[in-house]
Amino acid sequence: MSRQTISDPIAVNDDVQGLDQFSTLTRRLMVVYLPLAVFVFVLLFPFYWMAITAIKPDHQLSNYREYSPFWVVQPTLDHIKYLLFETSYPGWLWNTMLVSVASTFISLLASVFAAYAIERVRFTGARVTGLLIFLAYLVPPSILFIPLAFIVFQVGIFDSRLALILTYPTFLIPFCTWLLMGYFRTIPFELEESALVDGATRWQILTKVILPLAVPGLISAGIFAFTLSWNEFIYALTFISSSENKTVPVGVLTELVRGDIYEWGALMSGALLGSLPVVILYSFFVDYYVSSMTGAVKE
């Protein structure tokens, strides 16, 4: 009798592919479609609620007897016009963008050097240093902002965007370093050894060998840092007091809520417009983000 080889179609044939493993429509509905529908509904319903509230007239926001809370009868753009032209929201949006981009750049720059040194240079105590850096990420920002506030006052950068740009990396660098450590670990050492034999310096290896191969990891770390910077609230609330220097999360809450009066239309408009940059960013780089996160976790 002849042995079956790997190329034998009978040996590699697999009849169970994708949804075919669920033989009946009922089983597919209960196991796949229904849980997926619930998951999608839970994720998208807040955005839907923000969208319909942003375009609802004021008299429909609380009059549920005559108007459905889940639909808009006569949509209007008055809330968005009020937000953009009668408040400081464009300035808050610019401040948030500037702070997020600057802090993300600083965090990525420091994380690349730290992750490369820990994973490739192999100095004494490298593993312990990597573990301590990751443990620093586990410290709650609600504890760190107290000593950071003292430093910010002493340096003289209180109530400035520089205060946020310099303090945000304190919680961005640890996780970005851990993520890049896992991604650098997946790059073969033989490439670096070959470059060293050819006379390349450590800087040339980092810039011409490691970083081009680690682009998905850099994108993933950058998206993570940008998202945290964009949504950060505690530091922005503590270190910023003037309206013109506030970011979107703080400005929307503090300027559009006056005592017990909530301007729901403007609030939802601000939340909706503030979430769009992050949504657009994820839509362009979601494949890189997922591949890098799974690679880092496996390592």
Q: For a pLDDT cut of 70, what percent of the chain falls above it?
A: 88
User: So what's the pLDDT on residue 201?
Assistant: 87
Q: Report H helices in the chain.
A: 9-12, 25-28, 34-54, 58-61, 78-85, 89-116, 126-137, 141-155, 161-167, 169-185, 189-197, 202-205, 211-213, 215-231, 234-239, 248-255, 264-298
Structure confidence by residue, pLDDT tens digits, 16-64: 455 555 667 777 787 788 888 999 999 889 889 999 999 998 888 888 8
Q: Residue 271 pLDDT > 80, yes or no? A: yes
Structure confidence by residue, pLDDT tens digits, 171-225: 899 889 988 988 888 888 888 888 888 888 888 988 888 888 888 889 889 988 9
Q: Are 98 and 168 in contact (CB under 8 A)?
A: no
pLDDT band at 299 (very low <50, low <70, confident <90, very high): very low
* Domain boundaries along the sequence of the chain: 9-76, 82-298
pLDDT band at 103 (very low <50, low <70, confident <90, very high): very high
Specify the CATH number for 82-298; select among 1.10.20.60, 3.30.390.50, 1.10.3720.10, 1.25.40.340: 1.10.3720.10
Ramachandran angles phi, psi of 34, nearest 5°:
-65, -50
- Work out the mean pLDDT of the chain and round it to a whole number: 83
Residue 243, classed as helix, strand or coil, is: helix
